[in-house]
Structure 1
């Protein structure tokens, strides 16, 4: 889902970087990357049953590859077992969904709950996508020289994060002048793309119910540079993350539009940034003054008789700032509730910001098991008080660990609400039915581990076993992939011939690389030597 209202805000604030794409439009890109779960959810709304789902999915993929024609590679990435921060959010949403729908496990299939890594339908869809790839590779005139990279639901990580990992491993080091398009519907993809500035012609294709839109990451980055200063895109991403996403709740009392205006004034006067490094770090003094919408820090400093240095960045008066919050409202009433309950933790929230930023830069979580354990984000004033007490030079460490990703068994148990117990493997059903939750993570993890993998049924082991990403090519070389099975065991799909597709394991990141971010400033006056594909001429041939 990403940040609520972000796509609309980007279109309004940076209209030059966004353009509508009619259904009949098409263009060519070196690398076409598809966030598969978004596509799967969109076709599921039109599918009356599982067998029809594969047919609709294939038709949609064909349509996307006709709109975004690949020249070098197609990357298809499904959501696998996610980092714990996303698992916590997914469980919360599923509980809310069950409560609204009054879900009954005996009432038949429910796609929203079934689309959980480790379920039978996700395993069937992985097999179906593999069939699709091998079938399309038989069309040598169209896909004969194209690589297909597929990361299924048994490969840990979210689809869009795995796509970033691919770009960091295979495109940035050797092919940065290529054209890349990521197809998805999550607004976070735009922010993630801004953290990969080395790719020159970089686009995000946002699918909508009617007209889709295309965002030029290069042009958006240039406009951000004009607004905030050269190479301040990471600062921009951080200010956006404070509005809340799938990993962290919104900072209470925070208004992004106003914060960006304050940042621009502070940056103009002081030339100081919020994000620093390497290693990744935050200038907390500048950070505090950017979020301090009512000049509370200076008032609290005066009351506490602290050094006048905290007033180095005097805030503008409230009437100087206008514009709506990215969500369309200020949440002071929720700030009051957060204050009254105390159900928040400032330091853990700040660590979460660093964790989130590093994951976007790396395409891999710095700690698979980190998550923000509290119901609310802290209020802005609580963050300011934290730094007034500890000092803005205090160290807030990035959560880093080589702990392995959680297994499909554990992810499934934590994500499914008790009402959906029948979707779990038989041995895990009692645990899901009992309401196992992330708040009891250590105990749930222990109980899941106590079940030997060999005790699961064969079909269950097939869908729970940790997998690898695969590269598919034409050819009959050693290691050739023999033949994928028919999707959903549907006889309407033809059996594919043997030995015409080469399948080899694809290298992915397996531990935090902790990459440093190197800024690239592109001008808007056409002085760059690289050949530019702009958002205005992309898809223009068939308009």
Structure 2
């Protein structure tokens, strides 16, 4: 799921689209660090109008940081979130709007992925707890933690709409926004929108919906400079789909690998390593201010794509905007958050280059573009996938060859009995043999590329044994997958077209199986989103039942519950040909919506008032300082409510005037709830109460969304050209399955914790092959083709004839010169 490795591929392929972020260092006076004045000009030489934060990309790193002790309380998490936002704000310095978008209830198509992630997180946490407990007991003789301490550990699965944590996060962010608008000069003139977990929709899609609703409206500036922060690669697709030109994605530099130095907790106030040394201070290696960031500039990426998607001898006039939409479309096949990717298409195997190559070559034959905005031309899509399918056998054979060479190397390292040290406060020692086993040399019963691979795939993955059954299953999978592709395109360009639709399989069909679907009719029913507690019941494992009210928990944990089968204590994890466990498919049963909702309805009456609020939908909140021109309109509405008894408890709606709102359109809602108070109390114990508050907030709703026009707005000024012909030389597309295997590729996969990987793997392999030339020749050549053996024999022959010495002398001569 998702688009793994896409950002890294993009940075390597189109390097000029990425620039380093200049980060201003805070001044230190008398040992005291002063806050950065964000009202000053941006040190990056550009002034942004709007900054959008995909908050889940902030909350998760603060909740379970990779390289420092995990927080012990929610308050610690919130303080880290505040610091994170401060730093992002100081880099971007928006002048009109800050939009904080937290994931609300997601469409059912996304809930299946969320369910797999949360069940897997619970399983991994349980396995890790057992492993650490055993390790500590065996090495230190300490007693295991008592049950009370175990219960105090924070469960990351609470980062889901409807939980007490998400309600507390919303309350904390309200306080934080008041604090900044009152005291930070860089915030004084901006508008702040908080879209919390009670507003339905995923965070990044709420941002995209806001942008679509504002563009081409009265007062909208076509040259608005947008900046979106988030960690998901689909943000790039959403940015391209807006067709806004002045758009940048802010994210961490993926080339920086943080040092891992975790601390294990043994109790509330005691931390120790293997040697028993106390460590009362938390490490600061994960400090947000020490990270490097990059801007991915969408207008430069568009330039690259205009060169890289050139259509030779095009039979129709080329429209750059439709090429962009088609690029977004073809990238869906290598991964998205709603469908499993096509088995033959892996980004680190050059899948995107293959898709682009086929697209450009077949453009004329297809008859033109694959899409028109969100609408997919199914006949052209069928032709496109038919050509992609013709490469499958070659791709699978190459994959088998790479796997054989990698397995030979791992087995050879295992035989060397090498012992290495892993990072951590606890020093774990494992043999190379156990690492090879943990890093996933798995039994592959499908054996893609070998004769009968397709039949074995459907028999193994979807239990379709007979030929007739397989044909029926394939047709069903293809139909649902095509529906899914159309659903995702609609989601990216117009918003949700069905809250209930989902892909009902764990695996995708092969590209060569996509045929005879061009006459399918897409009929999506919009429906309504789940309530927060309904989604929690749909995505959480029984181990996280504590996040729900009492009677809801029983439905998950009681073995006599009629929906107990939705929460299996164990489930199959299929590596599916991958090397590492994080890539595995979690084969969980799909939720039956009617059964789930029927059981929830029985216990819904047991909710108290606070729980009812957590289980409700609400509107976004708009915050401004009282000096903002909009404030006078808000105060006039408040006076109007007070003077009219009938309006006192009513929700007053007022259209926002874009001439005084900085070009923003939409509606303000003022209810009987307090929107202005002279004092704002902190929900975090040791933070100050805000005295003489000068910040007000109202509920906000954007204007009705018109049909999205997938083209730049009228009046936009395009930046000067950045990309020229010389910059495109390294963008030449090379089809992976046609290249020879290099040693570097064997180590190019993402490393897994506590395994031989990266530098450790290279060191181990060098130690192995340095014994002698003859031993190296024997080890490497085992099981490899005759062509590789001939090559190595040629190298050895040259060394025997003294070529190496001659080359060495030649280099010496060069140095003298």
In the superposition, the TM-score normalised over structure 2's length comes to 0.56
Identify the residue that residue 79 of structure 1 maps to in structure 2: 103
* Residues in 2 aligned to 1:341 and 1:39: alpha-carbon distance in whole angstroms: 39
CA contact (8 A) 1:181 1:204 kept: yes
Identify the residue that residue 288 of structure 1 maps to in structure 2: 383
Q: 2:357 aligns with which of 261, 271, 276?
A: 261
- The 5-angstrom pairing of residues 95-494 of structure 1 reads 95-102=119-126, 107-139=151-183, 141-173=185-217, 174-197=220-243, 199-208=244-253, 210-229=291-310, 230-231=320-321, 232-254=323-345, 255-267=351-363, 272-276=368-372, 280-290=375-385, 292-293=387-388, 295=390, 332=448, 338-341=457-460, 343=462, 345-362=477-494, 364-383=495-514, 386-387=515-516, 393-397=518-522, 399-433=523-557, 434=564, 436=566, 438-453=590-605, 455-475=606-626, 477=635, 478=638, 479=670, 481-483=675-677, 486=681, 489-494=683-688
SS in 2 for 1:410: helix
SS in 2 for 1:98: helix
Determine which structure has greater relative contact order: mean sequence separation of CA pairs < 8 Å that are 6+ residues apart, divided by chain length.
Answer: 1
Change (3 A) 1:331 1:463: farther
* Residues in 1 aligned to 2:496 and 2:99: alpha-carbon distance in whole angstroms: 20
SS in 2 for 1:117: coil
* Residues in 2 aligned to 1:331 and 1:411: alpha-carbon distance in whole angstroms: 38
CA contact (8 A) 2:389 2:510 kept: no
Q: Give the structure with higher Rg (CA).
A: 2
* Residues in 2 aligned to 1:50 and 1:215: alpha-carbon distance in whole angstroms: 32
Give the C-alpha shift of residue 92 in structure 1.
0.8
* Residues in 1 aligned to 2:722 and 2:63: alpha-carbon distance in whole angstroms: 30
- The 5-angstrom pairing of residues 492-531 of structure 1 reads 492-497=686-691, 500-508=694-702, 515-520=707-712, 530=717
Instruction: Give CA-to-partner distance per residue, 1:399-432, whole Å, 9 cap, x none.
Output: 5323111110101111111111111121211123
SS in 1 for 2:47: strand
CA contact (8 A) 2:103 2:202 kept: yes
CA contact (8 A) 1:201 1:533 kept: no
Give the C-alpha shift of residue 509 in structure 1.
7.6
SS in 2 for 1:346: helix
Change (3 A) 1:109 1:288: farther
CA contact (8 A) 1:128 1:486 kept: no
* Residues in 2 aligned to 1:514 and 1:332: alpha-carbon distance in whole angstroms: 46
* Residues in 2 aligned to 1:268 and 1:16: alpha-carbon distance in whole angstroms: 30
CA contact (8 A) 2:386 2:512 kept: no
Change (3 A) 1:202 1:435: same
Give the C-alpha shift of residue 269 in structure 1.
6.3
Q: Does 1:3 align with 2:3?
A: yes
**Which range moves more in the overlay, 4-13 or 219-228?**
219-228
SS in 2 for 1:76: strand
SS in 2 for 1:506: strand
CA contact (8 A) 1:367 1:400 kept: yes
Give the C-alpha shift of residue 111 in structure 1.
4.0
CA contact (8 A) 2:241 2:710 kept: no
SS in 2 for 1:394: coil
Identify the residue that residue 30 of structure 1 maps to in structure 2: 49
SS in 2 for 1:293: helix
CA contact (8 A) 2:222 2:713 kept: no
Instruction: Give CA-to-partner distance per residue, 1:330-375, whole Å, 9 cap, x none.
Output: 994796654224636111111111111111112x211111110111
Instruction: Give CA-to-partner distance per residue, 1:486-543, whole Å, 9 cap, x none.
Output: 55x4321122246632212211488xx6835433499xxxxx972639999xxxxxxx
Change (3 A) 1:337 1:365: farther
* Residues in 2 aligned to 1:472 and 1:534: alpha-carbon distance in whole angstroms: 38
Instruction: Give CA-to-partner distance per residue, 1:446-485, whole Å, 9 cap, x none.
Output: 22233335x2123322322212101111126225723596
Change (3 A) 1:265 1:406: same
Change (3 A) 1:227 1:129: same
SS in 1 for 2:19: strand
Give the root-mean-square deviation of aligned CA atoms. Answer: 3.4
Instruction: Give CA-to-partner distance per residue, 1:267-307, whole Å, 9 cap, x none.
Output: 26666111136x7122433543355235489x9xxxxxxxx
* Residues in 2 aligned to 1:85 and 1:514: alpha-carbon distance in whole angstroms: 24
CA contact (8 A) 2:73 2:154 kept: no
Give the C-alpha shift of residue 84 in structure 1.
0.6
Give the C-alpha shift of residue 181 in structure 1.
0.3
CA contact (8 A) 1:225 1:521 kept: no
* Residues in 1 aligned to 2:22 and 2:716: alpha-carbon distance in whole angstroms: 30
* Residues in 1 aligned to 2:513 and 2:366: alpha-carbon distance in whole angstroms: 25
CA contact (8 A) 2:161 2:197 kept: yes
- Aligned pairs, number: 494
Q: Does 1:50 align with 2:74?
A: yes
Change (3 A) 1:529 1:192: closer
* Residues in 2 aligned to 1:141 and 1:499: alpha-carbon distance in whole angstroms: 15
SS in 1 for 2:697: strand
CA contact (8 A) 1:74 1:149 kept: yes
SS in 2 for 1:518: coil
Give the C-alpha shift of residue 248 in structure 1.
0.7
CA contact (8 A) 1:359 1:366 kept: yes
